Amino acid sequence: MTARTRSTGMTLIETTVALALLALLSIGLVTSFRLGERVYGQVTRLDSSARDTVAVQRFLRQTLESAYPAHPHAGDPAMGFGFEGAPGQLRFIAPMPQSAGAAGYYRYEVLVETTQASKNLIVRWMADRHRGGSSAGAQGFGGAS
């Protein structure tokens, strides 16, 4: 009898096992990519929200730091001295920040508007006719809590 020589190729069982392992690794890799994509999306949304919050805080800090003591004028009882407010609102006079490009003093009103879904911070401003100012406007910062 002649000795059987073993072939140098892979058997069907070895090939099947290798393909099964490759399939499991591929499934794990695709799952990891999907998880990474989801986490990246959440971080991006939170980062955008944090940036908005920082911008609102910076604006309020600048305007509150530069608040001007308001003296009541004859026939204008709308504004007392300094700050006026209640638990959900604040009124004061301050110059417009330089980044906004407008000069003069403005009457600011900061309100917290509560809805069923969230709390919204609303900032309104109007030129103070006794101290000079050039325009009126309102800005809402949604979702601030």
pTM equals: 0.54
Residues 6+ apart with CB under 8 A from 10: 18
Average pLDDT over residues 47-71: 84
User: What value does the mean pLDDT of the chain take?
Assistant: 79
Q: At CA 90, angle to CA 84 and CA 95, rounded to 5?
A: 90
pLDDT greater than 80 at residue 114: yes
Question: Is the Cβ–Cβ distance between 97 and 123 less than 8 Å?
Answer: no
- Tell which wins on pLDDT, 42 or 3: 42
pLDDT at 34 over 80: yes
